[in-house]
Structure 1
Amino acid sequence: MTVLVWFRRDLRLSDNPALQAALATGEAIVPVYVHDNNEAGDWRPGGASRWWLHGSLSALDADLRQRSDAGGLVLRSGRAEAVIPALAAETGARTVVWNRRYEPWAVARDGALKAALRADGLEARSFNGALLAEPAKFFNKTGGPYQVFTPFWRALRAAARPPAFAPAPDRLEIAGGVAGEALDDWALRPTRPDWAGGLREAWTPGEAGAAARLAAFTQKAVFAYADTRNVPGVTGTSRLSPHLHFGEVGPWQVWRAALAAGESMHGDPLQRGVETFLSEVGWREFSAHLLYHFPTLPNAALKPEFDRMPWQDDAAGLAAWQAGRTGYPIVDAGMRELWATGWMHNRVRMIVASFLIKDLMVDWRRGEAWFWDTLVDADLASNSASWQWVAGSGADAAPYFRVFNPVSQGQTFDPEGTYVKRWVPELARMPKALIHAPWTATTAQLDAAGVRLGRDYPRPLVDHAEARQRALAAYAEVRGKDAAAT
């Protein structure tokens, strides 16, 4: 007898509830990953996500083989509704286990699959390996889903009870002789052109890479997180988001590690940096709960009136934004970091999103789609909730009349121009007083910095002050009030 362990967004061996349940049966396991290009419809993984998935699956297979002489991860492609029952019959499995996903199509598919397996006489069990609380059981005082982060976070923080850590097993009994497909045949990595060089340099997909990054962050950076998380020119954030998205580390592992760091270094698990960091883990959780309760979140404004916004069909502006050629250095630095590494600092994500939505008046869904294709941590819940937050149309949204000024944001959070100089090297010789607004420099200052506006670096696509007024007028029309006077 065997137990089928269906890996999905839980590509790890430690703290994996489904794997632990399978091992508790004492039967040999069949670890499987099913690749279905069509399961998510329009939200199938983008290029950067596919690159990461290849590395993560390869790492998981190696981790399994290190613990067994019989085999590793079985790869199958197709519709999970057909692949999983067929593989169970092929291997004689009487039990199928997996960790839950919370995207709308996954919820529907998994429910139908569980019912079908049970109808065939198999035991089908699912577990929570991705979140701190089950969205279907976590409600506000009126019995509805939370739509404001602060009360959500207070309730989650008060209810948090980390379960005991389940380490990765030293040995695994894996059923041998189960044929699988070759990972390379799935063509998840780019070939020509190979645009992934920066991703390879920046990241190590897999459980070991996640553990190393978590350890490095909790040894030092977490304690200053409250002060440095908004400064893109320093290593002040955890960069755990892609590892969490692919389940190479679980949220409880991150939670325990952060609290333990505060206790060991400061004798205070509630140390300010630790608490601020945990609240960001809470925002990830909040986003997942929103998507679960509001499945149209990626495509439609949570506040319907915002779908009446008079968006501009600005193909040239969108292309300049995507390429990091807007003429606003902090925006361009962020977009170039994204293209090079598949990641962008969170403060800068807010700045570039505000610029696209409110300076260029381009529909937030166009930015969401670009991030979806280019981010290694492209998570449907976090991506859609965050874009709607900036647009003012989502839950707990920033006030719609808040329009980030890309110049003052750069001056505040990158005062030395460190971040801009790294990602916009043509401005490296600009003095820090001018680097966030090079068009204000004199001809002599531009000459001294070796910058010719319009050739070496573009002039601004729009005048921010004018663009801000245009955005406020549009929002006021949609909201039926004078937003500009707010």
Structure 2
Amino acid sequence: MKEPISIFWFRRDLRLEDNVGLAAALKGKVPVLPLFIFDEHILDRLPKDDARVSFLHQQLGKMRRTLQEKADSSLAMHHGSPKHVFQELLKEHDIASVYTNHDYEPYAKERDAEIGKLLSDHGIPFHTFKDQVIFEKDEVVKNDGDPYVVYTPYKNKWKELFNPKTHLTEHAVDFSNFVNHSRLPVCTLEDMGFTTSGIAVPDHTVSKHLIQNYEDTRNFPAIENGTSRLGPHLRFGTVSVRQMVRKAIAEENEVFWSELIWREFFMQILWHFPHTVNAAFKPKYDRIAWRNQEEEFEKWKNGQTGYALVDAGMRELNQTGYMHNRVRMLVASFLCKHLLIDWRWGEAYFAEKLLDFELASNVGNWQWAAGSGVDAAPYFRIFNPMTQVDKFDKQRKYIDKWVPELQELSYPDKMVDHKMARERCLKVYKEAVG
């Protein structure tokens, strides 16, 4: 007779410590089998040397080793569709219950509903928990129950509701209640048709010094370690958001804390308005007559626009999977406003390239740049790519690093005149939105 087990299903929470759902599973009466599924629905759309897949695989390897050392256990790794994997697990094990943490993206909601039904049909409880955010779904709303669509009032309500005693509880891991064997399935990158990426996800640098100096350094792309590089680690849950909020509070840094709240603002926007993945939040912006010139899009993608700061940002992205946030705003504005290329094209390219790609933030920020989203930049706000250099890279250090041929004849001329592009943009937007 099979021994009953519970399953903890890792998704966007790739850590053992301070993991809400995992801690809850380990408090149960039966041993816990840790599980990760490389979801073919997601993987099939990615390049075969995708750095994020390599990062996930490395992180899972670290977790397996920790479980082997501390619990004489391991972590089951499967590749396929989640429904098929669970159907096979149901044949192999006597499953008492399944635990996981919430995931808020449209595909994740559909996937979890499907798995929930499958388990329910077998009489198995499916327990889900809030882990990757402090506040989720409709926990921070206006007094009348409507969602916030402007950041500052959302942030104020967030802080009003925030209670460190309840929201920053640390969830300890009990290594004594894992399934006690280490011979669990594992899949290599090669098994899944992937190769190790040449791009590595950098460690995050959330030091006391970084937080204390955050507002002085975060806008200048040439400053080494001027930003935290937290993005991929929050995206995949290799760090706990509670730990990061604790650090922000300990250093009394409002700016760093606000950046963490921005992430949750966009998540609740996506939760309440899932149509914004493909459509403008403000419908009239879908009337814009985008030019959508493929040749111009290629120049933008490859950092060949003739505008040095735009080109530096795109080259940094292509070579490292990262782009400084201040430069992200400029390159997004340039694509939408100077070239009149649909924000969805840029959003899709960032989704392919960014190590810290997160659907809610990516869509939210691109719609902000296009003027079509919540709390957006007004359409007549058009960044000047030349004055942005004077403000944020005056010594040209960042530009020199990524555009070394700037003074050479091989560097392209500006692909569009700023004044002409600005006037054209204003005309096209005004015709569409009034």
Pair 1:243-2:222 in alignment: no
Q: Which residue of 1 aligns with 2:108?
A: 106
Secondary structure in 1 matching 2:115: helix
Deviation at 1:379, TM superposition (A): 0.7
Q: Aligned equivalents of 2:30 and 2:136: distance in 1?
A: 28
Q: Aligned equivalents of 2:22 and 2:91: distance in 1?
A: 20
Q: Aligned equivalents of 2:193 and 2:367: distance in 1?
A: 29
Deviation at 1:229, TM superposition (A): 1.2
AA matched with 2:238? E
Q: Aligned equivalents of 2:174 and 2:398: distance in 1?
A: 42
**CA deviation digits over 1:315-363, x for unaligned, max 9?**
1111111111111111111111111110111000000001111111111
Q: Structure 2: where are the runs of 5+ without partners?
A: none
**CA deviation digits over 1:223-266, x for unaligned, max 9?**
11122211111122111000000011121111012212x1xxxx
Deviation at 1:144, TM superposition (A): 1.4
Q: Which residue of 2 aligns with 1:19?
A: 22
Q: Which residue of 2 aligns with 1:466?
A: 420
Q: Aligned equivalents of 1:65 and 1:469: distance in 2?
A: 63
Counterpart among 218, 230, 254 of residue 207 in structure 2: 218
Counterpart among 58, 64, 67 of residue 61 in structure 1: 64
Q: Which residue of 1 aligns with 2:158?
A: 156
Counterpart among 51, 56, 71 of residue 54 in structure 2: 51
* Aligned 1:296-311 pairs, distance under 5 A: 296-311=275-290
**CA deviation digits over 1:148-170, x for unaligned, max 9?**
11111111122122332124445
Pair 1:185-2:184 in alignment: no
Q: Which residue of 1 aligns with 2:135?
A: 133
Secondary structure in 2 matching 1:217: coil
C-alpha change, 1:311 and 1:343, in structure 2 (3 Å) is same
Q: Structure 1: where are the runs of 5+ without partners?
A: 263-268, 428-450, 481-486
CA contact (8 A) 1:40 1:105 kept: no
CA contact (8 A) 1:371 1:378 kept: yes
C-alpha change, 1:177 and 1:50, in structure 2 (3 Å) is closer
**CA deviation digits over 1:168-206, x for unaligned, max 9?**
445553342764242223447546xxxx43x23xx35xx
Q: Which residue of 2 aligns with 1:233?
A: 222
C-alpha change, 1:353 and 1:475, in structure 2 (3 Å) is same
**CA deviation digits over 1:95-139, x for unaligned, max 9?**
100001001121132134224313322121000111111214332
Q: Aligned equivalents of 1:38 and 1:478: distance in 2?
A: 36
* Aligned 1:250-289 pairs, distance under 5 A: 250-260=240-250, 262=251, 269=252, 274-289=253-268
Pair 1:31-2:34 in alignment: yes
C-alpha change, 1:246 and 1:46, in structure 2 (3 Å) is farther
Q: Which residue of 2 aligns with 1:403?
A: 382
* Aligned 1:79-118 pairs, distance under 5 A: 79-118=81-120
C-alpha change, 1:381 and 1:132, in structure 2 (3 Å) is same
Q: Aligned equivalents of 1:475 and 1:85: distance in 2?
A: 51
Residue identity (%) = 40
Pair 1:452-2:408 in alignment: yes
C-alpha change, 1:66 and 1:178, in structure 2 (3 Å) is closer
Secondary structure in 1 matching 2:277: coil
Count of residues in Structure 1 that have an aligned counterpart in Structure 2: 427
Please, which moves more after superposition, 375-384 or 133-142?
A: 133-142
Please, which moves more after superposition, 44-53 or 329-338?
A: 44-53
CA contact (8 A) 1:75 1:182 kept: yes
Q: Aligned equivalents of 2:321 and 2:43: distance in 1?
A: 21
Secondary structure in 2 matching 1:426: coil
Deviation at 1:53, TM superposition (A): 2.2
AA matched with 2:188? L
Q: Aligned equivalents of 1:25 and 1:172: distance in 2?
A: 8
**CA deviation digits over 1:62-90, x for unaligned, max 9?**
332232323x2211122212322431442
Q: Which residue of 2 aligns with 1:145?
A: 147
C-alpha change, 1:190 and 1:354, in structure 2 (3 Å) is farther
Pair 1:365-2:344 in alignment: yes
Q: Which residue of 1 aligns with 2:80?
A: 78
Q: Which residue of 2 aligns with 1:475?
A: 429
Q: What TM-score, normalized to structure 1?
A: 0.83
AA matched with 1:470? R
Deviation at 1:294, TM superposition (A): 1.1
Q: Aligned equivalents of 2:48 and 2:278: distance in 1?
A: 16
Q: Aligned equivalents of 2:42 and 2:110: distance in 1?
A: 11
Q: What TM-score, normalized to structure 2?
A: 0.93
Q: Aligned equivalents of 1:41 and 1:103: distance in 2?
A: 18
Q: Which residue of 1 aligns with 2:306?
A: 327
Secondary structure in 2 matching 1:135: coil
Q: Aligned equivalents of 1:341 and 1:168: distance in 2?
A: 34
Q: Which residue of 2 aligns with 1:442?
A: none
Q: Aligned equivalents of 1:369 and 1:376: distance in 2?
A: 13
AA matched with 1:18? G
